[in-house]
Every structure is written in C-alpha cells, then in structure tokens.
Amino acid sequence: MRFTAFAFLITASAASAFAPASKTFSKSSTLQATVAPIQTKTKAPVFDEVCETTGVTLKRFMAEVAMLNPEISELTTLFGGIETACKAISNLVKRSQLPSSETLGLEGEVNVQGEDQKKLDVITNDLLKRALRFTGKLGILASEEEDTPVDVMPDNAKKSEIVIDEGEKYVAVFDPLDGSSNVDAGIPTGTIIGIYEHDENCILDENCIGEECTEQEARCLANTLQPGTNLVAAAYCLYSSSTFFVLTLGSGTYGFTLDENIGEFVLSHPNIKIPETSKIMSFNEANTHLWDEPLQKVVTGWKEGSGKSGQAFSSRYIGSMVGDVHRTLLYGGVFGYPADTKNKNGKLRLLYEGAPMSFIMEQAGGLSTTGTQRVMEITPEIVHQRVPIVMGSKNDVQEVIDAYAEYAAKN
C-alpha cells in the first residue's frame, strides 16, 4: 500500500521534536577531536587534468567524472537537471523586481518553519522538483518548503497526495531559495542541494497491516534522515553579480560561473582551497550577548586582536548563508549562526543547509562545527531539524572548538 508521508511526520514539528540543548557543557559532549575533515562514508571519485582546466563546462566536467568513475555516472543526469534549474531560478531572481513580474510579494501560505512563503519560494521549489523528477534518477526529496519528504517518481507526478514509495538511486535535499526574505533588496540569494544514495531497503509491502506498515514507513523516512558523512554530492548556486555553481563530489570543491553568452557554467575556480587562517568573521553580532560563553570569548579576542592568530578581525555579514559561505570559501574567514538563548539549537536546518554546506566547506579544507560536534556527523531526527553552525578557515574554527573544550574542562 502507498501511504502519505503525513502519516508519520504530522506529529513531529520542527520546533518541538528536537529538544533544546542544555547550556551546561560536559566534557564528553564538547571534546570534538581534530579529525581529517574529508572523512565520509562514501568513496571519493578520481579526477584528472580535465577537471582542473579553467574554462571547462560543467557538462564536460561531469562527463569526464562519469567516464573515470562509472559507479557515479548517473549523477551526470541528476546534475544536468540541477544545472538547468539554477539557470531558470537565476533568471527568475533577476526579473523578480520588475513591475510586470508575477513573483513579487507573499504567497499567503506559511511553511513548516512558521515562515511566510514568498511567491519566489514556492515557484523555485516547484521548479527544482520538476527538474529533478524528470531525470529519472531520484527517489525522494526533502525541501525547506515541503512539510514532508516527497516522492518524485514520474508515476506519482500527477497525484495530489504526497507519498513515499520505492524510488531510484538518489535522495535529494534542498533549500530552493536561501535568503529569499532579502530578495526585494537585491541581496545575494542561493540554492543549496545535497545528494544521498537511496536505500534499496525502502520497499513497501502492499499487504502490510498495522505496525508492519509503520516499521516499513520508518525505514523509508530514514532515506532522508542521514548524516552528512553519507552525502554523495553537495552543491549550491549563488545568484549575485554572476551566477555561481559550486559543487563537491567528495574529492575537492569546484566552482563554476555562468557564461550567459553561451548559456553554460564554466569552471572558474578549480579545486578551491580555503585559507587556513584568516581575519574575517561573519556573524550577526547583534546577538553576541546571547551566545554561549566560549564563543563570546573567542569573538571578543578576534575583535581585539588577542586571539590565537594575533590579528584583529574585520566583520563581513550579508545575512544570506550562500553569499556569506561563498565569500568565506574564497577569501577565508569564519561564518557562523550559533545557538543563543532565544534559539537553543540555532536557526539553520541541518539536513538541507548545514550538512551540504559543511560538506562543501570540508572538501575545501575548512572545518564545520556546532562548537561541540562535527556537523557532518549529526544524524537528523526530523527533516527540518535545526543546528548551530560555525564553519570556515581551519585554524580559526579550531580555536572555537578548543574554547568549548576548555570551558567544559573547567565546569
């Protein structure tokens, strides 16, 4: 039997299903070891000189990767759909402020986070679903704008009921338009995508009854509730002065820029490596007094130039995660949306914001932490679970980790 995803998610809300973290830091919870930042459970693909050649198109790049790594060849089709969606969204964003545009204003609905949905949120969410659905390579997706994971197999495309069924090889999680609340002001926005393998054990027996069905449903839900270490690929599109497409397949981070003259993403930033030390921080400093004591201490040291680097930091904060992380990747620095007394678990969503962006950051040589735990190692309990995040240059983020560990040792 097919079943609605609401059957097992309707009782779990993003606000209540993830219990607030305690403000007491125990030794066992704070000692995040300095691990090799590229440790994942998936096999890293092999690249060659073509993948390092500036000017290569994204299509050519993915074709080369597929030839060298046949086991992930189906990602070529999937990324083709994502690429097309990003181009379409880029055009929508650029035209959104024209008086004739039908994308202005609010949709009149509220998403599962309790946030007002802008028309652009809904349009971009639908656009991405369509682009991914017709690749034929995707089983299930989870989005910021969806209450539940959605089956995207073509057989179910016209059904009004949201269902999860046996799918294809991959699971996609995404935030269709990060920073959409700022789009009216022309602030950079972006799309975040994470790709997991689809568990073939997600099989539903049409004759199951009662608790048998519940157990099967739980196994299928687990397809979306995976830690970042299970990611096969992650990417983001940034809609700004240019349209950027940055991706990782588990073997480095690569940046492409849209050449509108030929309509193709071309490799502009091969094998991005974030500087290990920096002097730029990117936080909403209006909340400093609400942060955990260890983080307050580190940030104060950075401002005064008394931190481990001995340099006084400058502040650069857009308020759009994709824009802030993109700058941090290229210039170095620390981006953070930490926990505070108002938001005990932070505000960024683990599954489709925190984990994919952490994967990209770590593959570029950076670190990503909650302060007490590697973000990539956290297994979500619900689709829209929130998580505190500090990510960026290795040495600077390590300073934050050490501060939490020192605080735990004293308390």
DSSP per-residue codes, 343-406:
-TT-SEEIIIIIHHHHHHHHHTT-EEE-SSSBGGGPPPSSTT-EE-EEEE-HHHHHHHHHHHHH
Closest CA to 384 of 339, 343, 341, 348: 348
* Residue 169 predicted with pLDDT over 80: no
DSSP state for residue 71 in the 8-state scheme: G
* Residue 217 predicted with pLDDT over 70: no
Highest-scoring range by mean pLDDT, 56-70, 109-123, 207-221 = 56-70
DSSP per-residue codes, 85-121:
HHHHHHHHHHHTTSTT-S--SEEEEE-TTSPEEEHHH
What was the pLDDT predicted at 275?
96
What was the pLDDT predicted at 370?
97
* Residue 321 predicted with pLDDT over 80: yes
- Name the residue with higher pLDDT: 52 or 238: 238
- Name the residue with higher pLDDT: 360 or 187: 360
Which amino acid is it at 333?
Answer: G
What was the pLDDT predicted at 35?
41
DSSP state for residue 22 in the 8-state scheme: P
DSSP state for residue 329 in the 8-state scheme: H
Beta strands in 44-96 (DSSP E): none
Beta bridge partners, 263, equal: none
Which amino acid is it at 319?
Answer: G
pLDDT class of 124 with cuts at 50, 70, 90: confident
pLDDT class of 226 with cuts at 50, 70, 90: confident
Could you tell me the pTM of the whole model? 0.80
Beta bridge partners, 237, equal: 191, 245
DSSP state for residue 287 in the 8-state scheme: G
pLDDT tens digit string along 45-94?
888 888 888 999 999 999 999 999 998 888 888 899 899 999 999 998 88
Q: Is residue 152 classed as helix, strand or coil in its secondary structure?
A: coil
pLDDT tens digit string along 4-41?
332 222 223 333 333 334 444 443 333 444 444 456 66
DSSP per-residue codes, 167-235:
--SEEEEEEEEETGGGGGGT--EEEEEEEEEPPTT----TT--THHHHHHHHHHHTTT---GGGEEEEE
* Residue 273 predicted with pLDDT over 70: yes
